[in-house]
Structures are given as structure tokens and as C-alpha cells.
Amino acid sequence: MEFDKLWNYNKPDETEKKFREILPEIKASGDKSAYLQLLTQIARTLGLQRKFEDAHKLLDETETQLTDDDPVSQIRYQLERGRTFNSSGKTEKAEELFLKAYELGLNSGAENLTVDAAHMMAIVKSGEQSLEWNETAMKLAENSSDPAAKKWLGSLYNNTGWTYFDMKHYNKALELFEKCKKWHKERNTGQGLFIARWSVSKTLRMLGRVDEALDIQNELLKEIEESKAEQDGYVYEELGECYLLKGNDADARKNFGIAYDLLSKDIWVAENEKERLQRMKELGGR
């Protein structure tokens, strides 16, 4: 859908505003499927803002209008209901909806949304099951003729890399992150490439290749400073970890302190990474 191009996942409040501005026009056009799909995406913006009750209310409104002859709207509804549940900690309910979306996607030929559903199944699963779903999603995307489905590959390489990372299979994680970096570099994605390089660096640190990791993080910091972009707490955190391993306590303390100041303001980090934040606070002298 054309309105998908309006998405800015880093600024869901702005995206919500844009979607609501075009909602009357879409409704007046008589394209009911487009209208229902747009409602699901507005619900997604609300979920990303952690307005879960509002998101569910809008999805309730959408659900009453769904019909069997419009599988795409049904899939998008299931995906966004599932994402809302998952973001609010109700993983079992989310998994049930993602599986329904996946199965309906396979049956309807909606390749892009099928990949999305498989990638969400990988997120709610862990370990080997997560890897299996990521592999399924990657194969679907790689074999698809739909450009929108192929766009998922960057995210899938990243997610699979982190699954291996969490399993402490760091060499395999590095392989995926390097693949992810190459994918983003070929497409000059900007932020996606930045994140891929950060992921490579963190994995190198875990493999004991601290000097290489430190060089990458300093490159990223320099790029942020030169472009006058918003400061990134995760870069400072990794710099702190690298300096700590090198025995440079002063620089470690400085960077952990900045990381804490930035990441403690992040709602998701504050709610889900309390021990990690506490470590930054202590090592940063805050």
C-alpha cells in the first residue's frame, strides 16, 4: 500500500499523525481493504508508543469489519494484534496470532506479510525454535519475487545474528552480522548499516577481538559527532565495555556514565534492562 511509505518506525507519533490525516480520504475512496489495513497500521503506531489499550480498541473496531474475501486485511490485523500483545508482555497470545497470520499468508500468497509473520514467530520463540523460524523467513524472502518481501532480509540477518549471539555462538553470530552489514552497505541504508556495524563490533568484543571492536565504535562515534546526529547511548556503552577490558578505567567510567545518562531516559530500556542500566550507573559513577 502507498501509505506504508509514510512509516517512520523511530517516530511512531509522527507516523500516527500522518496516517490519521489521510484516513478520511482512504475511507471516502471506497477501498475498504485499504481503509482496514490503515487502521491496523495506526494501531501499530499506538503500540510503539506503548498505548496498548488504545491500540487494542482500534483493533477491536477493525476486527468487526473483517471479511473472508479480504485475507490481506485479516493478516495485517492478526500481525498488529499480535505485536500489541507481544510488546505488552503477553507472548502466548501474540504467538497464536502470528501463527494464524503465517498460515493465512501461505494460503493467500501474500509473500511480504508471510515473511513478516515468520519473522515475528522467530521473535516470540527462543533458541533452536527461533532459529528455525528465522531460517524459514529468510528462505521465503530470498526465494520471493516480491521486492517488499526481499526487503526483510536485512532485518532477518540481524535477528538471526542476535539469536546466535544470545546462544553464545559468537562466530556464527558474526557471520550473520557481516552478511547483514554487506546487505545494508549495498543499499546504502544509513541507520541500518550503522546498527549492523555496531553489532559486528559487539560480537568482536565477545570474541576477544577488543581492539577491532574499539576501532569500529570510535568510527561510529566520530560519524555521529561529524553529522551532528543524536547521541547514541549504545555506542557509549560499548566504548565503556571495550575500555574496561583494556584496563582504561578513566575512559570506561566516562563512557558508561554518558551511556547511563542517555539510555536511562529510554522507556523500553528502563523497563526491560534494569540490571544492564544499573551496571552502567555503577561503572559510570552515577
* Sequential pLDDT tens for the chain (286 residues): 688 889 998 899 999 999 999 999 999 999 999 999 999 999 999 999 999 999 999 999 999 999 999 999 999 999 999 999 999 999 999 999 999 999 999 999 999 999 999 999 999 998 899 999 999 999 999 999 999 999 999 999 999 999 999 999 999 999 999 999 999 999 999 899 999 999 999 999 999 999 999 999 999 999 999 998 889 999 999 999 999 999 999 999 999 999 999 999 998 899 889 999 999 999 999 9
The conformational region for residue 188 under phi > 0 = left, psi -120 to 50 = alpha, else beta, is left
Give backbone dihedrals phi and psi of 118, rounded to 5 degrees, phi first: -65, -40
E-state strands within 11-56:
none
pLDDT in tens, 99-137: 999 999 999 999 999 999 999 999 999 889 999 999 999
Q: Which amino acid is at 240?
A: G
Sign of CA dihedral 101, 106, 108, 114: positive
Supply the pLDDT for residue 33: 96
Mean confidence (pLDDT) of the chain: 95
